[in-house]
Amino acid sequence: MEKYSIDGALTQAQKDFLASETKYKEADIAIGAANAQVTATQIAYDDTFLNEPVITVDINEIYLPRISIGQKAKIVFDAFNNQTVTGVVKSIDTIGTVKGGVVTYEIKVSLETIPSGVRANMTALVTIETLRKNAILSVPNSAIIAKNNKYYVKQVVNQKKNVVQISTGVKGLVKTEITKGLAERNVIVANPND
């Protein structure tokens, strides 16, 4: 069987390891660690997976322990940014590749569909959900003050701003989980340094 492929380098791998470690979806505050160090993608029809369309992604070794076969993935082609394709991790290489001192591992994600109009060298963003938490208390990252390995927020009580120590959980791209120090409906300052 001939192998058809669409190659492309990701132009929008998330910029910062800490910032891209998780991605929050506002609806359920679902948290999905992403592909901050994805270096390239390739779509192919692979004989190994019974002629399913698959996308090949190089994942930085830092993320590899969080990736497993069967995890769900979302793929957005830059050219079709309003269309999300879903997929499932089908395989993970056991031998890494070193490029410029960075070790990456190839994973294959089986796609349910490929948008019509996809062409060679189009870029895509692949997000693999590695953690989901629902019904958590979270605040914008901009509201958190870090000092001496402790975290604080400015809470507003009777129009006065009080600095309150908090404990944090999972940090996302936009929000951070609060495990202690605040309660639902507390009012805080979103940008305490402004």
CATH number of the domain residue 162 falls in = 2.40.420.20
Q: What is the mean pLDDT of the chain?
A: 75
Whether residue 120 sits in one domain with residue 90: yes
What's the pLDDT band for 44 if we cut at 50, 70, 90?
Answer: low
Cβ neighbours of 97 (radius 10 Å): 12
- Whether 145 shows a pLDDT value over 50: the answer reads yes
Residue 144, domain member (yes or no): yes
How many domains would you assign to the chain? 2
CATH number of the domain residue 36 falls in = 2.40.30.170
Whether residue 104 sits in one domain with residue 46: yes
Pairing of strands 52-60, 160-171: unpaired
The contacts of residue 13 (CB under 8 Å, 6+ apart) are 20, 35, 36, 37, 38, 39, 125
Inter-CA distances, 97 with 50, 61, 62, 103, 115, Å: 26, 10, 13, 5, 30
Instruction: Specify the 3-state DSSP secondary structure of 64.
Output: helix
- Whether 9 shows a pLDDT value over 60: the answer reads no
Q: What is the pLDDT of residues 102-143, one digit of tens each?
A: 999 999 988 888 778 876 667 788 888 777 788 999 999 999
Residue 168 belongs to domain spanning = 138-188
What is the model's pLDDT at position 56? 86
- Whether 159 shows a pLDDT value over 90: the answer reads yes
CA distance 102 to 32: 23
What's the pLDDT band for 14 if we cut at 50, 70, 90?
Answer: very low
